[in-house]
Structure 1
Amino acid sequence: MTGYTKPKAVVLLSGGLDSTTVLAETAARGYQLYALTVAYGQRHAAEIAAAKRVARAFAVVEHRIAQASLDAFGGSALTDAALAVPEDGSTRTTIPITYVPARNTVLLALALAWAEVVGATDLFIGANAVDYSGYPDCRPPFLAAFEHLANVATKAGVEGARYRVHAPLLYLSKAEIIRRGVALGVDYGLTVSCYQADAEGRACGRCDSCRLRAAGFAAAGVPDPTHYQTG
């Protein structure tokens, strides 16, 4: 269409499997991609490096890395080195120690701030309410509440813009996510999902995130390209 300009979207990109699939999905929907990665004080920098690789692979319009020092508060095994990452794979009925207090609230707030600056009204996040670890900020009520906040807490919102928070993976299993990503041409070998990857980005193979990822590839019938630690 002559004169058509693609809408802009800010996509939260951690460098993991889910967020990379969301980036591919957003591109498939015809958006201009503004990828936002947040260094929030997580245990390792491997996922930041992975996010850079993914952003290059998708030729995003711009990739920003923002700082949010959630490790200053701790309270999570992902931001406090004194807390061990669970490796027992047991079924839990409580929110696990890998939950980072208010992380998705902070990440979406940063995405919203950048979206208002670049003129985007669509925010994309890889939240999942099926194969997830029980995090409260991955649930539909949280996403709906943040969308409402975005529309009442911004200059653009009160002047008539309509912000939308998209979570295209919300009701998909890990296997379904992987199949969707493969169909979209995602190279999952670029991604890092492990909670305690080493300096080279190799996965431990023992944490909850590694277990979910490995089970997803097995269920999807897709070869697992994850780089694992040896020994």
Structure 2
Amino acid sequence: MNRKAVVLLSGGLDSTVCMAVANSQGYELLPISFNYHQRHSRELAAAASVARHYNVGRHLIIETNMDAIGGSALTDTSLPVPDGQIGAAGVPVTYVPARNLIFLSYALGYAEVTGADRVYIGVNALDYSGYPDCRPEFIGMFQQLADYATKAATEDGRKIIIETPLIHLTKKDIVLLGDKLGAPLHLTTSCYQGGDRACGHCDSCLLRLKGFAEAGLKDPILYRD
């Protein structure tokens, strides 16, 4: 029986490289994406394209309305997406409250039901925007919680491991790893604005461009400028 891995797939650079890592390690891929009422649907279209590239049996899309909570420029259209500033102090307005906690909880449940023993998430704690739910401390605490949260772990002796293969990599390293593994980086999107061409100015675009420049590779997606 093939080993199975649930992969949180946003359609962005990091989650796609994370999927490539799980694929290279021989797992049957079970991607899960979220329509959380984000301000644009382009990332869901990108996630679907990446899932098709890997010819997965099922691409699960969960709908959860985080716009009802608000408080983020990625869900609340009354809050503009600011131009990025790499290395700025504090958590930016593009942080979505408790997003990875919610997403990992869904993924953990999906892993339990499907028999997967791994959940892959492409969080990164080096070249990132400072989100608290991308840090190693958060992942460690969630793993402790997961060990007590499922029947699989508490009764069946089947621990579900949260895998974070990119957490200590720079964006340069992530780009190089994706290139090495043949990840479909041309299908990904990172821009918070969600247009047909990336804005090139938001946090996510700046970090992505920095990674490709330092890797000495051309970013295969289109930018407005």
TM-score (norm 1): 0.94
Q: Show structure 2 runs of 5+ residues with no match.
A: none
Partner residue in 2 for 1:149: 145
> Is 1:22 the counterpart of 2:18 in the alignment?
yes
Equivalence for 1:39 = 35
Q: CA RMSD in A?
A: 1.1
Aligned to 1:209: 204
Once residues 15 and 201 of structure 2 are traced to their aligned partners in structure 1, the CA distance between those partners, rounded to angstroms, is: 21
Determine if the alignment matches structure 1 residue 139 to structure 2 residue 135.
Answer: yes
Identity among equivalent positions (%) equals: 51
- Partner of 2:7: helix, strand, or coil? strand
1:89 Cα shift?
A: 2.1
Matched, 1:93 2:74: no
For residue 65 of structure 1, the aligned residue among 40, 58, 61 is: 61
Equivalent AA in structure 1 for residue 202 of structure 2 = C
Residues 1-231 of structure 1: pairs in structure 2 closer than 5 A:
5-89=1-85, 91-159=87-155, 160-198=157-195, 200=196, 202-229=197-224
Segment of structure 1 superposing worse, 56-65 or 128-137: 56-65
1:32-75 deviations in Å (ceiling 9; x for gaps): 00000011111100000000000000112321110111110110
Instruction: Name the SS for the 2:59 alignment partner.
Output: strand
Kindly indicate whether the alpha-carbon contact (under 8 Å) linking 1:21 and 1:180 is maintained by their aligned counterparts in 2: yes
The 2-side partners of 1:85 and 1:149 are apart by: 33
Q: CA deviation at 1:223?
A: 1.0
1:125 CA displacement: 0.2
Cα deviation, residue 229, structure 1: 2.8
C-alpha contact 1:189 1:227 (8 A) present in aligned 2: no
Amino acid at match of 1:13: L
- Name the aligned partner's letter for residue 22 of structure 2: T
Contact kept, 8 Å, 2:84 with 2:206, in 1: the verdict is: no
Structure 2 distance, partners of 1:106, 1:119, is: 20
Once superposed, which parts of structure 1, at least 4 consecutive aligned residues long, lie more than 3 Å away? Answer: none
CA distance 1:88–1:143, change in 2 (3 Å) = closer
Is the Cα contact below 8 Å between 1:151 and 1:161 reproduced in 2?
Answer: no
Q: Would the alpha carbon gap of residues 68 and 189 (structure 1) be closer, same or farther in structure 2, given more than 3 Å must change?
A: same
Deviation track 1:88-129 (CA, whole Å, cap 9, x = no partner) reads: 526421111111000000000110111111011210000000
What CA distance in whole angstroms lies between the structure 2 residues aligned with 1:88 and 1:223? 21
Task: Tell me: CA distance 1:155–1:85, structure 2 relative to 1, closer, same or farther (3 Å).
Answer: same
